[in-house]
């Protein structure tokens, strides 16, 4: 496993664009809330640590991971000043193909919204085989993917601004 015994949430703050002028949307799945709330906490900490003002962060909930793409689209339509969005969800493998359909639909949907709106959307969706793997990646031994996705979003917003 690529992340075994590694905390991937460590980063150098000097390598991240300052987000003082950024407006960020976050869409969070209510399904597996014990996991997604930890991912949200990590994302908020990383954003504010890198200069994003808390009042410039709009957080909205959706029922599940499958609803994340439409939630992102709603945010971008509601607030045209958003520089980027983080989509937070968690899907844990079960006994049926439902896992595959939800993961594929959310992935494709988020990419479609990203390209349609030409706005960075950071994919913070855990797709793990077990609950323990999700715990390990939402503040456990492998760090917090919420932090990583916030850093990724800031870098993509920075790149977009640099090229415009």
Structural domain tally of the chain?
A: 1
**Residue 147 located in a structural domain:** yes
Query: In this structure, is residue 77 part of a structural domain?
Result: yes
Residue 17 lies in a domain: no
Q: How many CB atoms lie within 10 A of CB 78?
A: 12
- Average pLDDT of the residues in 4-11: 61
Q: What is the pLDDT of residue 2?
A: 46
Closest C-alpha among 155, 160, 157 to residue 13: 155
From CA 80, how far away is CA 78, in angstroms rounded? 6
Q: Token pair 């339509």 is at which residue?
A: 77
Does residue 13 surpass a pLDDT of 60?
Answer: yes
| Residue 102 falls inside a structural domain | yes
Instruction: Identify the pLDDT of residue 7.
Output: 60
* Whether the model pTM is above 0.85: yes
For the stretch 47-68, pLDDT in tens is 999 999 999 999 999 999 999 9
> Is 15 inside any structural domain?
no
Domain that holds residue 102: 22-163
Could you give the CA distance from residue 28 to residue 71 in angstroms, rounded to a whole number? Answer: 9
Q: Is position 86 within any domain?
A: yes
140, part of any domain: yes
CA distance from start to end of the chain: 38
Cα–Cα distance between 25 and 75 in angstroms, integer? 7
Average pLDDT, the chain: 93
Q: List the catalytic residues.
A: 98
Catalogue the E-assigned strands of the chain: 24-29, 57-62, 84-92, 121-128, 138-140, 143-144
Q: Tell me if 2 is assigned to some domain.
A: no
| CATH number of the domain bearing residue 149 | 3.40.50.960
The pLDDT tens digits of the residues spanning 100-159 come to 899 999 999 999 999 999 999 999 999 999 999 999 999 999 899 999 999 999 999 999
């Amino acid at each position: 496993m690529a992340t075994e015994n590694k905390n991937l949430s460590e980063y150098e703050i000097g390598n991240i664009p300052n987000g003082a002028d950024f407006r960020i949307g976050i869409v969070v799945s209510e399904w597996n809330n014990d996991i997604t709330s930890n991912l949200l906490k990590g994302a908020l900490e990383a954003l504010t640590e890198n200069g994003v003002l808390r009042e410039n962060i709009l957080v909205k909930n959706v029922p599940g991971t499958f609803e994340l793409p439409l939630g992102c689209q709603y945010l971008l339509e509601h607030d045209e000043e958003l520089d980027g969005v983080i989509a937070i969800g968690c899907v844990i493998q079960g006994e049926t193909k439902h896992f595959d359909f939800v993961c594929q639909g959310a992935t494709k949907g988020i990419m479609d919204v990203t390209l349609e709106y030409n706005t960075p959307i950071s994919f913070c969706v855990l797709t793990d085989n077990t609950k323990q793997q999700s715990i390990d990646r939402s503040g456990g031994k492998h760090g917090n993917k919420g932090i990583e996705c916030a850093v990724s979003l800031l870098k993509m917003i920075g790149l977009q601004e640099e090229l415009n």
